Amino acid sequence: MSARRAGLAAAVTALMLRDLRLALRRPGDTLQPLGFFLVVTTLFPLALDPELSVLRDIAPAALWVGALLSSLLALDLLFREDAQDGTLEQLALCGLPFTGLLLAKTVVHWLLTGLPLVLIAPLAAIALGAPYGAMPGVLAALLLGTVALSLIGAVGAGLTMSLHRNGSLLALLVLPLAAPVLIFGARATALAIALEPLAAPLYLLAAMAVLAATLAPWAVAAAVRIGLE
Amino acid sequence: MAWVWFHRFGSPPHFYRLARRLTPWFAWPAALLCAAGLVGGLVLAPADYQQGDGFRIIYVHAPAAWLSLMVYVVMASSAAVGLIWRMTVAHAVAASCAPIGASFTALALATGMLWGRPMWGTYWEWDPRLTSELLLLFLYLGYMGLRNSVDDIGRADRASAVLAIVGVVNVPIIHYSVIWWNSLHQAPTVMKFGQPTMPASMLVPLLLMLAGFTACFVALLLTRARGEVLRRERNARWVGDALGQT
């Protein structure tokens, strides 16, 4: 039993290092969603009145819609190539818990696309007129929200990984499921920008992240297995 | 022994014959109940003291909204049965649920908008229950979109079953998060047990319509599922026998 557990730990470490190394050798793929996020948040002031008071009102919406769309864009990286070159089949056949291995891949995906987005978001928030005091709240909301979005999105990515054209279908599958995260994330961000207490929406976001981390891996494993048949 | 009926239910020819026999037993009551409910609701019930005759659209709106959720639950449960016991008939039932559920959701949205125009002064208000109904419509559309884009029918069955189950976990979360987000819709009047806030002359037609819509759903589902089973089993021998009989 303990040998098996040690085997799983070693496999997860190796898998995570492999995914990180692959992503770092081709940084363009992981940087594109970040660039997309910055472009989207730049477009809002261009489409609106560039007055800081107006921008401050729409800043939560711009940040969260941008984060949602950019996480959607990044989802295509999660399973597609590994499904095409047979890596996922080997992982499914290797005898270790498939759920754990896919969760490790999802964690790496969040480290590569979710975490950089959280770190770059203050830049966009300042540009949209958010005060400096709002940053801890904005960061906390996005940190919890991107975790939930990566996990929910992984289910959609697993379901669509073997389809030829999946861009709009993936959006149709994932966006309704992500609506609660959007609602409470934007609410928490709005409260943070207004410098008001934001514990309530943050707790709800945390609950959603924990729930997604508990249930989503099983759905991801089932979806990927069906995609491999 | 107790499970024999369950396994027999999973056999396509048995299901086909059973569904064909049961359909009229739901279709006729549906027509009668809806006719009685419409007469009771549109003619016999008194006008509302606040909303006048405008409230009468509830006799279509509330049953459609109730079914839009119930059909989703039926779809997800039969998808789960299909996934767990590998029953093609259950998958066929789940696949037949989706267009019916999407239609009831669209009907609930349309009647809700028509009702909103005179009462709230606008067709579309970002009201929680309208919004969660809209998100439910998107879930149905995603389910149908996923089924359409997977070529192999067995894989389409299992992939869409996973999506339906994920959706059923999410429906309550979506519902409550949208309610906490913004609230304008009147509080539920029928589902309050104990003391309903409606007089009996208004409530009885509504309950008749609810029963009629539900029976109508079952009749539609049985008919669609029969077609779905025939399409899947078109090369089987019993199909020729069953169709030759009639």
B125-163 residue pLDDT tens: 777 778 888 999 999 999 999 998 888 888 999 999 999
Comparing CB atoms, the residue among A173, A175, A184 nearest residue B146 is: A173
Which of B129, B153, B177, B183 best tests the A interface by mutation, with the highest count of A CBs <10 A?
B177
**Start-to-end C-alpha separation, chain B:** 33
Task: Taking residues B197-208, report their average pLDDT.
Answer: 82
Residue B113 scores a pLDDT above 80: yes
**Chain A partners within 8 Å of B135 (Cβ):** 176, 179
Q: Residues B52-65: what's their mean pLDDT?
A: 85
Q: Which of B140, B173, B179 to mutate to test the interface with A (most CBs of A within 10 A)?
A: B173
For this complex, say whether ipTM is above 0.85.
yes
Over residues B4-26, the mean pLDDT reads 85
Residue B191: the pLDDT is: 47
At residue B1 the predicted structure's pLDDT band, cuts being 50, 70 and 90, is low
Which string of DSSP letters, residue by residue, matches chain A?
-HHHHHHHHHHHHHHHHHHHHHHHHSHHHHHHHHHHHHHHHHHHHHHS---HHHHHHHHHHHHHHHHHHHHHHHTHHHHHHHHHTTHHHHHHHSSS-HHHHHHHHHHHHIIIIIHHHHHHHHHHHHHTT--GGGHHHHHHHHHHHHHHHHHHHHHHHHHHTT-SS-HHHHHHHHHHHHHHHHHHHHHHHHHHHTT---HHHHHHHHHHHHHHHHHHHHHHHHHHHHHH-
Contacts for A130-139: CB closer than 8 Å, 24+ residues apart: A130/A56, A130/A59, A130/A192, A130/A193, A131/A193, A131/A195, A133/A195, A134/A189, A134/A192, A134/A193, A134/A195, A136/A192, A137/A188, A137/A189, A137/A191, A137/A192, A137/A193, A137/A198, A137/A202, A138/A63, A138/A189, A138/A192, A138/A193
Say how many C-beta atoms besides its own lie within 10 A of residue A36's C-beta: 17
Chain B interface mutation, best of A72, A169, A177, A218, highest count of B Cβ atoms under 10 Å: A177
Report which DSSP code applies to B151. -
Q: Which amino acid is at A184?
A: F
- pLDDT over 70 (residue A142): yes
Closest partner residue to A176 (CB to CB) among B139, B150, B181 is: B139
Q: What are B's interface residues with A at a Cβ cutoff of 8 A?
A: 83, 135, 138-139, 141-142, 145-146, 149-150, 155, 158-159, 162-163, 165-167, 169-170, 173-174, 177-178, 180-181
Of the given ranges (B18-22, B85-89, B171-175), which has the lowest mean pLDDT?
B171-175
What pLDDT, on the 0 to 100 scale, is given for residue A56? 87
Q: What was the pLDDT predicted at B186?
A: 53
Least confident piece of the model among A88-97, A206-215, B45-54, B116-125: B45-54
Q: State residue B184's pLDDT score.
A: 46
